[in-house]
Amino acid sequence: MTDSPTQSTALADQPHVRVDRDGVAYTLLGTAHVSRASVDAVRAAIASGDYDTIAVELDPQRLAALSDPDALARLDLVKVLREGKTALFAANLGLAAYQRRLAEQLGIEPGAELKAAVVDGRERNLAVHLIDRDVGLTFKRASQRLGWWGRAKLGGGLVASLFADEDVGHDEIEKLKQGDLLESSFGEFAEDSPALFDTVISERDRYMAARLRESANAESGARHVLAVVGAGHLQGLANHLREETRAPADIRTELEAVKEKSGFPWFTMILAAFVLGGFAWGFWRGGLDVGAELMMYWVFITGTLGAIGCAAAGGHPLSIIAAFIASPVTPLHPALASGTVSALVEAWVRKPTYADFMALRDDVQSVRGWYRNRVARVLLNFFLTSLGTAIGVWLGGAKMLGKLLG
């Protein structure tokens, strides 16, 4: 690797690799997401004037989170609930909470060097490209590859990070300096899951290499590109940038694909057939008493447990009533969820304020904050109501099965 004298001065103490391809010189700068030295190195490299294009390991969503602290206040929570993005919103909240703990402990915002690369590049009127994959797509692809138990462990880890308030351990911080912020946010689970590591790290190496090639094409006029990425991506990104021969657009399309859910909701239909068939069998074989008993038990157990989950979340009385009414019905309908119904009522009755959104990242650090903050309480309502209903479905189904086999 041969660098110009200016590059050597700016990047002397930082890991970096130069790759020349298709008439473009790419300088890949590996940074530590929690290091003041990385921020200084990025700014010095851009100030050197050696580069006409800046590429950054960010997607628009993560850049907005770094650059616009008021973005949460403009979020349409009702839309999030209706579009079924509650789990993704909670995952992003877990990532934000982890970053907040790091910022408070280390005195520097995680990803500050990435933000500096965007700000300084734009101030100098350089072309700035965000080359990372959308964090929502990464989370969805990881979830699909993990299976049911893996998703449960990952979700549990993210939820746990919302409540954690202890300092991040020294070993974890040192690992983060040489790794990746998203991987670190998933905790130790990433180490035990090749599928998660591949989706969060290896796939993004390929994706960012493809985006670099796309953004530095002949039409762009780019000749000297500075790519600012986490140190954990440096070697993988360099290898793909050197060796990949497939068209960048094909690679990006492949790595953005998310498997569509089955067009036919088999589980819901089977459950509905089982429950409704059980009611019919009860009326046919046992008469009005047995059929009515099965129906009343189903309604009582699912409705009560759904309502208890909503009450445990501090739900408004109207939300609790909505949970009781919805819980016996929604398990039999593919487009409805009791947690969504009760959470929508909660958001309507106790509309979150601007102050709730602004305080959200701090409030989710404590149990009391979850109940005090209206946004957090809506999320809690969704999860606990859904959990109560799910338990009710299993108990109600077991009762019906016992009657059928008895």
Q: What is the mean pLDDT of each run of 10 residues along the chain (406 residues)?
A: 45 83 91 80 91 92 76 71 72 66 68 90 94 85 71 61 54 55 52 66 90 81 90 88 92 87 68 82 78 87 94 95 93 82 92 80 79 90 92 87 72
pLDDT for position 151: 63
Cα–Cα distance for residue pair 52/107, rounded to 1 Å: 31
Q: Which residues of 86-105 are buried (b: 16+ CB within 10 A; e: fewer)?
A: bbbbbbbbbbbbbbbbbeee
260: exposed, middle or buried (Cβ count in 10 Å: 0-12, 13-18, 19+)? exposed
- Which residues lie below 8 Å from residue 221, measured CB to CB, with a gap of 6+? 52
Cα–Cα distance for residue pair 9/16, rounded to 1 Å: 12
Helices (H) and strands (E) in the chain, counts: 20, 5
Question: Helices in 111-177 by DSSP H: which ranges?
Answer: 112-123, 135-163, 170-177
Pair of tokens at residue 231: 């140190």
Give the residue extent of every domain in the chain. Answer: 5-256, 266-405
Contacts 24+ apart (CB under 8 A), 316-325: 316/345, 316/346, 316/349, 316/350, 318/345, 318/349, 319/343, 319/345, 319/346, 319/349, 319/381, 323/385, 323/388, 323/389
Cα–Cα distance for residue pair 91/141, rounded to 1 Å: 14
Cα–Cα distance for residue pair 231/177, rounded to 1 Å: 7
The DSSP letter of residue 73 is: G
What pTM, to 2 d.p., does this model score? 0.68
Q: Do 255 and 207 meet the contact criterion of CB atoms below 8 Å apart? A: yes
pLDDT for position 172: 56
Cα–Cα distance for residue pair 390/152, rounded to 1 Å: 14
Tell me the β-bridge partners of 29: 16, 228
The region that residue 160 occupies, defined by phi over 0 for left and psi between -120 and 50 for alpha, beta otherwise, is alpha
- Residue 92: phi and psi, rounded to 5, are -65, -35
Q: Which residue, chain included where needed, has tokens 């408070």?
A: 104
